[in-house]
Structure 1
Amino acid sequence: MNDNSALTPQEVADILKISKNTVYELIKRGELNSYRVGKKVRVDSKDVESYKNKSKSIKNEDQSGLISERLKSYNPLNDELPKINGFVICGQDILLDILSRYLQLHPNGIQALRSYVGSYNGLYELYQGNVQLATAHLWDGDTGQYNIPYVRRMLPGIPAVIIHLACRLQGFYVAYGNPKNIKGWEDLKRKDITIINREKGSGTRVLLDEHIRKLCIPSYNIKGYNRESTSHLAIASTVARGGADLGLGNEKSGLQVKGIEFIPLQTERYEMVIKKEDMEKAPFKAVLEILRSQELKMELEGIGGYDLTEIGQIVAET
């Protein structure tokens, strides 16, 4: 294989004998380097080889997947919680994978571990002391606010700081050409619409549930409501191949999937939550410095799909 050759996601999938969607997931999680040529994603063959070599041995410090599985698998009602050692950043956006890389290279930084669980579970883990940084995009339908009401309720008695990361556009994924003429939330009342849902605890699932609550739509009246998937890419892929008429997700992820149109519905606030007692500790100060750096902002602008106007700003203390 030529070290300088550029591969498409499908060619990478063929080499690794995995699905193309899994390739996108590896890219999203920062496990496989990629770049864009216009709107097309490309991967250097040398990066594929690097990924294969890295995957041949499991290093003690590379616990991200294990953490994610451990946090997903336990029941919060159980007495025993999974014990995780290290500095853990909780959340699913690729922005956090990039932040972790910067944090490892920062003079006062640390090697961060990643947990890919949703917003609700991330806040719960922060409350339990299992993670150091949680992220959330949880919309409260009664106040119209993002995150602040949930942090106050889910971290009782724990002073916390909410730091803005980015604004992202949430909306419906529909098949190209929008054959069902879907326009907005009211279409969830239609009997001829089948959806694919996100998992419980994700910010996207909470957004959907809040809107159907306000519209007084019983969830059992929505076809496909109980079908769950754990990523935006998987949701968009299901819609693209005709497995559902619509799914809810962010614009950036949906545009990576062929055969999808995006119907914008709501701008969401994606934010980081830190316990106030940790704010003066070196790794946390490094995180804030990185978030406010021009280098990180330029890299995220290159990826696209983010409004970074307020990145690094403290928006609330609870």
Structure 2
Amino acid sequence: MSSNLYKPEEVAKILNISRFTVYGLIKRGELPAYRIGRSMRIESADLENYKRKSRSSELFTGHEGLPADPSAPAHYPGLIICGQDVILDVLSGHLEKQIPGVQFLRRYVGSISGLISLYNRTANIATTHLWDGDSDEYNVPFVRRYLPGQKACVVNLVSRVEGFYIAPGNPKNIKDWHDLIRPDIRFVNRNLGAGARVLLDEKLRKLNIDSRNIQGYSREELSHLAVASCVARGEADVGLGTEKAAMQVRNIEFIPLQKERYDLVILPQDINPQHFETLLSILRSDEFRKEVMGMSGYDISQMGEIIAEL
């Protein structure tokens, strides 16, 4: 065990709770966690901070883990990037090469939790793919909503395709959103705050579809891969996620539904200007772009483009 990082199972023993409770804390954003390879780790400083808040009854409250005092200063090493896509591992590797001596950590949370982490000053960069059904716009409306009064910069990383994961040959003949309420269809959902969950809920709202009529709506998984795996194992007939994940899981097919923009959101005042320029330089470099193109499943046509300065 590292003196600075704990596994969820180790945190469970320290707090005398189940590991499922630990994963619940991570899911809700109450206990920060980082993705290192295929494993999750909790930093000792974050664990001590959680314990201190618990003792003083200052537990996280409100939507998606918003603390009672969101302006309280946070203490964290290096630079923290919120997001789940594997492309962020590649980006972190390039940043480490270009900015030696600075540690880059991943916080494995969904889009809304990432924005709230920026607001709470517990992260430097957040990734989002949040679709607003009223404006048909990605990310910018949510940045305004979750970062009120903050100057923010939205930079495109890639674009991806969201769609349905289904069994090979599409035996249930699933075609669109309305099929989700059929009594013979079992759905598997994403967790609250995830971009795919927001897309689903916005589509249901716009189409006037009652989520209570969807069998499996309350079953939640924490990643696109987990959703795709459920369908591949036959535990669900359909799930929603990215085309990239469909390429990584056997025994499923993919029905494309919507192209989405996967952006980086940064508060310029909370990041070293030189680090920000290095980030843009990497995104616009031939080396990085070719590496991402080789991974398939991504559209890099807007990569490195500043979408909005708010």
| TM-score, reference length from structure 2 | 0.78
Q: Does 1:241 align with 2:240?
A: no
8 Å CA contact 2:99, 2:275 repeated in 1: no
SS in 2 for 1:125: helix
Quick one: which of 122, 137, 142 aligns to 2:134? 142
Q: Given that residues 175 and 239 in structure 1 are in contact (C-alpha distance below 8 angstroms), is that contact kept between their aligned partners in structure 2? A: yes
Amino acid of the residue matched to residue 193 of structure 2?
A: G
1:66 and 2:80 matched: no
Give per-residue Cα distances to partners, 1:197-256, cap 9 Å, x unaligned. Answer: 000000010000100111111211110000000111111111111111100000111121
Structure-2 separation of matches of 1:222 and 1:214? 16
1:97-112 map, 5 Å: 97-107=89-99, 110-112=102-104
Structure 1 residues 109-151: Cα deviation after superposition (integer angstroms, max 9, x where no partner): 7321110100000001101100000110000001100001000
Instruction: Give the number of aligned pairs.
Output: 259
Name the structure 1 match of 2:37. 31
| Equivalent AA in structure 2 for residue 66 of structure 1 | I
SS in 2 for 1:289: helix
The residue type paired with residue 152 of structure 2 is: A
Q: Does structure 1 residue 85 correspond to structure 2 residue 76?
A: yes
Deviation at 1:278, TM superposition (A): 4.4
Q: 1:203 to 1:84 in 2, by over 3 A?
A: farther
Q: CA separation in 2, counterparts of 1:273 and 1:78?
A: 20
User: Is 1:169 aligned to 2:169, yes or no?
Assistant: no
Q: Does the aligned pair in 2 maintain the 1:297–1:308 contact within 8 Å? A: yes
In structure 2, the residue matched to 1:48 is none
Q: Distance in 1 between matches of 2:232 and 2:297?
A: 20
Q: Secondary structure of the equivalent of 1:303? A: coil
Alpha-carbon distance between aligned partners in 1 of 2:298 and 2:80, rounded to the nearest angstrom: 23
Unpaired stretches in structure 2, ≥5 consecutive residues: 1-34, 51-58
Q: CA deviation at 1:260?
A: 0.1
**Aligned residues of 2:128 and 2:195 also touching (Cα < 8 A):** yes
Query: Matches of residues 145-294 of structure 1 in structure 2 within 5 Å?
Result: 145-278=137-270, 281-294=273-286
Distance 1:173 1:74, change over 3 A: farther
Q: Which is further off, 186-195 or 95-104?
A: 186-195
The residue type paired with residue 31 of structure 1 is: G
Q: Separation in 1 of the partners of 2:170 and 2:252?
A: 9
Give 1:189 shift. 2.7
On the 8 A contact 2:66/2:116 being kept in 1, the answer is: no
1:130 lines up with 2:126 in the alignment: no
Q: Using a 3 Å threshold, how does the CA distance of structure 1 residues 169 and 80 change in structure 2: closer, same or farther?
A: same
TM-score, with length taken from structure 1:
0.76
Runs of 4+ that moved beyond 3 A: 69-75, 77-84
SS in 1 for 2:249: coil
